[in-house]
Amino acid sequence: MAVIVITGGTAGVGKATALRFAKAGYDVGLIARDEASLHSTQEELRRFGVNAHAVQADVADSQAVVDAANEIEYRLGAIDVWVNNAMGAVLAPFRTLTPDEFRRVTDVTYLGYVNGTRAALELMVPRDRGVIIQVGSALAYRSIPLQSAYCGAKAAIRGFTDAVRTELMHENSRVQLSMVQMPGLNTPQFEWARNKFAWAMRPVPPVFEPEVAASAIFRVAQKPVRELWVGGSTIQSIVGQFLFPGFLDRLMVKKAWEGQMTDDLNAPDRQDYLDRPVNDLHKIHGRFSDEAKNRAPSVTSGMPGKVALGALAVAGIMVTRLLTRRKT
């Protein structure tokens, strides 16, 4: 029986991924902070007839992650797939973030991946097999306003992953290290992230269901690739950043700033998960199911033909927008 470990596996993409692998017969190890949600998710997974083991740990604590990995491997057997997915965010202009807030997002969203990768490699390298998947974002290439700490962390994950991948290649290791760059997703992230605005916020459209991300992660686990770019918006953002970075800067000023705003005020008793887990049963979907898409195109970063087509598509979009602006 194959074994997968997922950090941040009790909500959103993490929980959708856990269920996707359980349906395929994988035993599942979960690492997250909220004990009640860990127990609830573990019971859901066991209904598929697989083994599941949950460990309460903060991914920012490197030793806690190593201990969790060893415990899961002891309970379930050798870990075949490790998915780094836990994240945190603060939705606000950079100048309003405190040093502690920025550090906490970095500790979880970036160093949490570093800690998870280290723990996985300690177990996988000696037996010379395994797949580590970093759940990334189009924001790893194309940053947007109001999420400076999160964007910085996602870009750092990409740089870190590229470096470690080349080290594994130099050692002729058969451990695979992949990254899956995601579009905007309909998860509870915007309900739980610290928000310094009075208004509730949202992902920049188009929005996709978390199951789209889970299917992409499952695909990479079966056939590892260097990077998988999920969703037309992700492909356009990444290729567009290579071709028109200055234009995208100007486009983000309006599209990504206002595009993250809603007309709804935050609830007075709103919780955020930055310093402690939210006290609620964790769910997969956010508040945008009415518009979320269930399917998305994807390409690998090693598919030059499709990437070239994506570049042409982006170029066409940019030229059209420029001409439209000049006419108005």
Predicted model pTM: 0.93
Angle subtended by helix axes 304-327 and 232-243, to nearest 10: 80
For residues 180-200, average pLDDT:
96
258-261 long-range contacts, Cβ below 8 Å, gap at least 24?
259/202, 259/204, 259/205, 260/91, 260/144, 260/146, 260/201, 260/202, 260/203, 260/204, 261/197, 261/199, 261/201, 261/202
Q: What percent of the chain has pLDDT over 90?
A: 85
For residues 270-282, average pLDDT:
88
How buried is 280 (Cβ within 10 angstroms: 0-12 exposed, 13-18 middle, 19+ buried)?
middle
Work out the number of other CB atoms within 10 angstroms of the CB of residue 237. 25
pLDDT per residue as tens digits for the range 229-251: 999 999 999 989 988 899 999 98
- Residue position matching structure tokens 């770019």: 229
- The pLDDT, as a whole number, for residue 1 is 84
Lowest mean pLDDT among 109-118, 164-173, 315-324: 315-324
Please identify which of the residues 110, 113, 141, 150 carries the catalytic annotation.
150
pLDDT per residue as tens digits for the range 18-43: 999 999 999 999 999 999 999 999 99
pLDDT per residue as tens digits for the range 103-160: 999 999 999 999 999 999 999 999 999 999 999 999 999 999 999 999 999 999 999 9
Query: 44 falls in which pLDDT band (50, 70, 90)?
Result: very high
- 303 has a pLDDT exceeding 80: no
Where is pLDDT greater, at 1 or 297?
A: 297
DSSP conformation letters of 49-87: T--EEEEE--TT-HHHHHHHHHHHHHHH-S--EEEE---
- Interatomic CA distance for residues 222 and 211, integer angstroms: 17
φ/ψ of residue 37, rounded to 5: -70, -35
Beta carbons of 166 and 253 less than 8 angstroms apart:
no
- The pLDDT, as a whole number, for residue 269 is 87
- The pLDDT, as a whole number, for residue 151 is 98
- Interatomic CA distance for residues 225 and 207, integer angstroms: 24
- Interatomic CA distance for residues 270 and 194, integer angstroms: 9
Query: 324 falls in which pLDDT band (50, 70, 90)?
Result: very low
- Residue position matching structure tokens 């899956």: 180
- The pLDDT, as a whole number, for residue 223 is 97
- 316 has a pLDDT exceeding 60: no
Q: In the predicted model, what is the mean pLDDT of the chain?
A: 92
- Interatomic CA distance for residues 146 and 132, integer angstroms: 29
- The pLDDT, as a whole number, for residue 188 is 95
Lowest mean pLDDT among 46-60, 281-295, 308-322: 308-322
Distances (CA, A) of 71 to 53, 66, 75, 129: 9, 9, 6, 19
Query: 327 falls in which pLDDT band (50, 70, 90)?
Result: very low
Catalytic residue status for 113: no
Tell whether omega for the bond before 224 is within 30 degrees of 0, i.e. cis. Answer: no
For residues 264-293, average pLDDT:
91
Q: Is 261 helix (H, G, I), strand (E, B) or coil?
A: strand
For residues 207-225, average pLDDT:
98
φ/ψ of residue 82, rounded to 5: -125, 125
- The pLDDT, as a whole number, for residue 279 is 79
